[in-house]
Structure 1
Amino acid sequence: MNPEERQHQGQSSFPVADFHCDALSKMVEEPAIRFEDDPRLDVTAERLLAGGVHLQCFAIYLSEKWGKPRFEQVLSQIEKFRGKVVGKGGLRPLRWREETAELTKRPSNGPGWGMLSLEGADGLEGNLFYAELIFELGVRFLGLTWNYANWAADGVLEKRNAGFTEKGRELVKWCNDSGMLLDVSHLSESGFWELAELSKRPFIASHSNARSIFAHPRNLTDDQIRAIIGMDGRMGLTFVPYFVTDRKEVVPEDLLRHIEHVCALGGEKHLMLGSDFDGIDSWIKGLGHPGHYPAFAELLLRHYSEESVKGWLYGNAVSYLTSNLPREPGVK
C-alpha cells in the first residue's frame, strides 16, 4: 500500500508527535472554524488521524494584531483547546508523566492526544499567579518570548540581544520548581545561554532548524544544538519554508540537510518535529498539513534507518516527555 492509499484510509506506518502548531489562535480569530475538518486549518482532527499523529502540541500564540498581550487572550485559547480540540475534536489532554505510557496505545482509528504550550510569556503580564493558573489548566511548555522583548527576556529578533530580567529569572525558578517545561525557539542567544545556566531541567527548541545549513536568526547555532544535546533536551525540525532554504520552491528533501547536520553533531536521539502548521502562510511542497506525514515518513525511510525515522517522528519526543513531564500529584 503506498503512502497516498494509507492517507486516504486514515493509516500511517509510524506514529507521529508534532510539538508546534498555531491552530488555536486561528480558532480565536474565526470562531466559526470547526476543528474536526475545517479547510481553513492546516491541523484538523481528520488530518491528524490521516497522518497518524498520536500527539499534537497546540501553542497559545498572541498575535501582534491583537494589541497589547493580555491574560484573557491566553485563557480564550485554553477555552478553544478544551471545547473544540478536546471536546468536539475528541483529543485527550496530555498533562502528566503517568499518561505517557498510554501514548503508543492509541488504535489506528482512535483519538490522539493534545498538549498545550504558551508561545511567549507576554500574556502572563509579569504575574506568577497567572503562570500557576495556566499550569493548573494544563499548559506544560512555556516559550519565554516570541521574537521581541517582553517583561521576562529578550526575543531572538531584539537587536540588543539581552538575557533575562529579574522577573524573568523568577519565572524560570518557578518553572523549575513546578514542572513547567521551557522552550527556547524564540529566545535571544544571550537568553539561551543564561537559561542553560539557570535551568535545572533540560529544555527544548520546539520549532527551529540548523543555522549552519540556513542562516536564519530563528535557527540554532551548532553550539546551541550541542548544548541541547548535552542536557538531553530536544529540537523540533520545523517546516517553515524560509527557515529551510532561500529557494523559491521548498521540497521535503530540503529538510534532509538539516537532519543530517543535527545528527552529525550527535543529535540523532534529540531531534523531533515541530511543524508550525497554521503559523505559516506558505508551505513546503507536499508537506502542507498533518495528512502528509505518511509520505514524509516514506521519504525518510529511503535515506535513513527505520530506527532513526521512528525516533524523529515520535520516539525521541515521547522519551523526553516520559522523563520530564511532572508527576501527577497523589499518584505513586
Structure 2
Amino acid sequence: MSIPVIDFHCDVLSKMREDSRISFQNDPKLDVTYERLRQGEVSLQCFAIYLSEHWGIPRYEYILDQIDAFKSRVMTAGEGVRWLRWKEDAAELRQAIENANQATMPRRRPWGLLSVEGADGFEGNLYYVRMCHELGVRFLGITWNYANWAADGALESRNGGFTEKGKKLIDLCNEIGLLLDVSHLSEAGFWELTERTARPFIASHSNAKAICPHPRNLTDDQIRAIVAMNGRIGLTFVPWFVREGKGTAVRPEDLLPHIEHVCSLGGEDHLMLGSDFDGIDSWIEHLEHPGRYPAFAELLCKHYAETSVRKWFAGNALSYLNTHLPEKGTSGAGQI
C-alpha cells in the first residue's frame, strides 16, 4: 500500500539556523531529513520559520536566514526538494499523488512549502510581511505561545485578542493572499479572526481539547468554526497534546480518539497532518520521524476506510492548497 503524505508543520529550519553543520540529507540531529521524506512517502513537507526565544529580540533577518537555509540547504539535498508556491505547483503535486500507486511511475521528488510561525520577526513592519509573501512564504502563524505586536498567544494568561496593528495585519494578509494559521493563537484572537478574515484559515498543528485538555488544542466550538469555513486542522504528534500525564508513554493508537472526535464534529474532510517534528524533544513511540508514516497508515487502515486515510494524509490538505494558493504571475506574489 502506498499512501502519499502532506505534513503541515516541522521545525527543521530553526535547527539549521542554530547549527550550520547540519545536513538535511540524513543528519541524525534532525527528525525530518531528505531520506526520511522519501522513506515515508512524504509528497509535501511544510517548513516553519520559527524564531527561538533564545535568540533574543526577534529580527526580520532571522526570517530571511531561514528562507536562505531552505533554498541553499534543503532544496539542494538529495535529488532536490521542490518549492511549492503556486496553484500550478499544487496541480502538479496532485497529479503525482494520483499516480503514486502506479508501479510504472518513478518516485517523485518531495516538495517543500514555507510558513512563518509567529509574526514577531516582522518587527511590526507590514512591508516586511508583504515582502515575505513575495519571497515565497505562503502561511503565517500569527503568534507563537505568547503575546507579540499583533495578538496574544495561546499561553498568554490574559487571553487578549488582536492589537490595532494586528487587525491591519489580518487585512493585509487577506489582500495579498498570505494564509493564516491559528495553532498558537489565543482563543479570543481566534474568534476575532473568524469575524475579520476573508479567507478560511488553518490550525496547522493542534489536536482536540475534549480528548486532551492542553491549552494549545482546539475546543469543540473552534473545530466546528474551522469546519464551517472550510479550513483545515493538522493532527499533531506532540505527546502532551495527545494524552495527559507526564512520563506516560504515548502510542500511535492514542491519536485515534482525536481523529474520531474531529470527525464527529464534521471534520472528516478538514483533517490533515501537522507532525511538529523537530519542534519536540520527546516523541510518540514508533512515530518519531517521517519514515514511520507507512506503518501509521497501516494502523489507521485497520480502523478506517482507506479513502478516509488518504484524505487525512494528503487529500484534504491538497484540496485546500489547490483552492487558496495564488496563481503564478499574480500581482504582488513572487515579484522580487
Q: Where on the TM-score scale, by shorter chain, does this alignment land: which range?
A: over 0.9
Q: CA deviation at 1:246?
A: 2.0
Superposed displacement of residue 132, structure 1: 1.2
Q: Does 1:288 align with 2:281?
A: no
- Code of the aligned partner of 1:236: G
Q: CA RMSD in A?
A: 1.1
Residues 34 and 77 of structure 2 are in contact (CA less than 8 Å); yes or no, is this contact kept in structure 1?
A: no
Partner residue, 1:124: 122
Q: Could you tell me which residue of structure 2 aligns to residue 208 of structure 1?
A: 206
- Report the CA distance shift for 1:125/1:330 in structure 2 as closer, same or farther (over 3 A): closer
Cα distance in structure 1, aligned partners of 2:168 and 2:108: 41
Q: Are 1:98 and 2:77 matched, yes or no? A: no
What is the aligned counterpart of 2:185 among 165, 184, 187? 187
Q: Choose the corresponding residue for 1:241, options 239, 242, 247.
A: 239
Distance 1:231 1:170 in 2: 21
| Corresponding residue to 1:79 among 58, 65, 68 | 68
Give secondary structure in 2 for the equivalent of 1:18: strand
Amino acid of the residue matched to residue 250 of structure 2? V
- 1:267 lines up with 2:267 in the alignment: yes
Shift of 1:14: 0.6
TM-score normalised according to structure 2 size: 0.93
Query: What is the SS of the residue equivalent to 1:95?
Result: coil
For 2:266, give the aligned amino acid. G
AA partner of residue 310 (structure 1):
R
Structure 1 length-normalised TM:
0.95
CA distance in 1, matches of 2:108, 2:224: 37
Shift of residue 105, structure 1, vs aligned partner: 3.7
Amino acid at match of 1:55: L
Partner of 1:5: none
Is 1:67 the counterpart of 2:56? The answer is: yes
Retained in 2: the 8 A contact 1:251–1:285? yes
Unaligned runs of 5+ in 2: 97-104, 332-336
Taking the aligned partners of 1:87 and 1:177, their CA distance within structure 2 comes to 33
Give per-residue Cα distances to partners, 1:228-287, cap 9 Å, x unaligned: 000000000000000000241000000000000000001000000000000000000000
Structure 1 counterpart of 2:172, one-letter code:
W
Amino acid at match of 1:321: L
Q: State the 1:109 CA deviation.
A: 2.9
Percent identity among equivalent residues?
66
Q: Which residue of 33, 36, 58 corresponds with 2:47?
A: 58
SS in 2 for 1:116: strand
SS in 1 for 2:9: strand
| Cα distance, 1:13 vs structure 2 | 1.1
User: What amino acid is aligned across from residue 81 of structure 2 in structure 1?
Assistant: L
Which structure 1 segments of 5+ residues have no match? 1-11
**1:54–1:104 contact (8 Å) kept in structure 2:** no
CA contact (8 A) 1:22 1:59 kept: yes
Partner of 1:143: 141
